[in-house]
């Protein structure tokens, strides 16, 4: 099984995913962003704003997840922002064809909360990265209609990372994930 933790940059995906990997028996983190880093030197002649635009990234994420699960089993926790519906459809249908159940969760918070979290993040100390994250909140807001249809929204505004982890781990065991938790 895959627990996909989606949401805008700075919402807490990495923190929650680390806690999920500890809480869910047999779980490990698969950082799909590393696939993008692998492709960057190979595809540097194909300019993109985001490596998710490269079809090989989407295909390799599916294939890598399938290979890992086929090799070690268990659960993969994937902390990865995907805001383009077509890309999500390619990934989720590829995983479905591989016979891998996906529980798709979207960490959400209102704009004010997101901006406050990004501005006070002690791990990211670069003003440029903070600005980049804030600038992408609008992309997330525009993707919300399809994210609501294809994932389970987890309102993180008043929850601690530990509480979010409990919500997701409990919901992941109940089957398909759509709607709001």
Range of the domain at 116: 2-180
Bridge-partner residues for 104, per DSSP?
A: 4
pTM of the predicted structure, to 2 decimals: 0.92
Burial class for 166, CB neighbours closer than 10 Å (0-12, 13-18, 19+): middle
Query: Domain tally for the chain?
Result: 1
Name the percent of the chain lying above pLDDT 70: 96
**47 alpha carbon, distance to own chain's centre:** 23
DSSP 79-91: E-----HHHHHHH
Identify the residue whose tokens are 């918070």.
Answer: 109
Residue 82 backbone phi and psi in degrees, to 5: -130, 115
Q: Which of 85, 86, 59, 88 is nearest to 142 (CA)?
A: 85
| Res 9: pLDDT | 86
For residues 63 and 129, give the distance between their C-alpha atoms in angstroms, rounded to a whole number. Answer: 30
| Pairing label, strands 102-108, 179-180 | unpaired
How far apart CA 20 and CA 76 sit, in angstroms, is 10
pLDDT in tens, 114-171: 999 888 888 877 889 888 888 889 999 999 999 999 999 999 999 999 999 999 999 9
- Please, which residues bridge with residue 106 across strands? 6, 153
Q: What is the pLDDT of residue 174?
A: 60
Q: What CATH number corresponds to the domain at position 96? A: 3.40.50.300
CA 14-20-23 angle, to 5 degrees, is: 150
Asked if residue 130 lies in contact with residue 159, where contact means CB atoms within 8 angstroms, the answer is: no
For a pLDDT cut of 90, what percent of the chain falls above it? 81
Within 13 Å of residue 153, how many CA atoms lie on the same side as its CB?
16
């Amino acid at each position: 099984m895959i627990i996909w933790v989606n949401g805008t940059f700075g919402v807490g995906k990495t923190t929650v995913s680390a806690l999920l990997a500890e809480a869910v028996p047999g779980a490990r983190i698969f950082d799909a962003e590393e696939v993008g880093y692998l492709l960057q030197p190979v595809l540097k002649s194909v300019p993109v704003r985001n490596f998710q635009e490269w079809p090989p990234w989407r295909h390799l994420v599916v294939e890598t997840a399938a290979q890992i699960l086929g090799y070690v089993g268990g659960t993969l926790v994937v902390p990865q922002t995907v805001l383009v519906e077509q890309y999500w459809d390619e990934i989720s249908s590829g995983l479905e064809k591989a016979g891998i159940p996906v529980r798709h969760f979207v960490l959400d918070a209102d704009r004010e909360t997101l901006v406050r979290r990004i501005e006070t993040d002690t791990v990211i100390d670069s003003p440029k990265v903070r600005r980049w994250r804030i600038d992408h909140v609008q992309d997330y807001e525009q993707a919300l209609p399809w994210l609501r249809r294809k994932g389970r929204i987890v309102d993180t505004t008043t929850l601690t990372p530990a509480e979010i982890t409990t919500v997701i781990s409990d919901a992941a065991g109940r089957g398909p994930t759509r709607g709001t938790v």
